[in-house]
Amino acid sequence: MNSSGVEDALINRLYTRMIDPLRNNSDIKDIGDVYPLAYLKMDHFLSRGMHETSSVRWSGTSALTAVVVLNDTIDESFVDLEEYNERKTSISLGQIHIANCGNVEALAIQPDKAFLMT
């Protein structure tokens, strides 16, 4: 087995250990486990074509994903939102997980400002 085959086998073993399509549940406990695995696997697949030539000078691939995870207590948080607004404090309604590769950026935009997130 060549080195590319060994890499394929290792990545696939890791991937199927975490995400088994034959089961209804998985061993993934945190979204932070999914991102590195997904981007590692995609990077590996794209690296197979690194020596290909293209008639387009700047050909390539870019990807950006965003996953919004709401807190389990979001209903309770909305009830308390007026109270938090009166005290000018912030309340966490969840998390946003963002990952990118290639020439792409993510912006978060609020009415008065914008944030570069990648």
Residue 28 pLDDT greater than 60, yes or no: no
Question: Would you state the pLDDT for residue 92?
Answer: 72
What residues contact 15, with CB distance under 8 A and at least 6 apart?
A: 37, 41
Comparing 48 with 85, which gets the higher pLDDT? 48
Q: What's the pLDDT tens digit per position in 60-105?
A: 677 888 888 777 766 665 555 666 656 666 667 778 888 877 778 8
Taken in order 15, 2, 52, 104, is the CA torsion positive or negative? positive
Q: What is the pTM of this model?
A: 0.52
Tokens of 26: 């998985």
How many C-alpha atoms does 15 have within 13 Å on its Cβ side? 16
User: Rounded to a whole number, what is the largest CA-CA distance in the chain?
Assistant: 65
Question: Would you state the pLDDT for residue 53?
Answer: 74
Averaged pLDDT score across all residues of the chain: 71
Residues of the chain with pLDDT > 90: what percent? 0
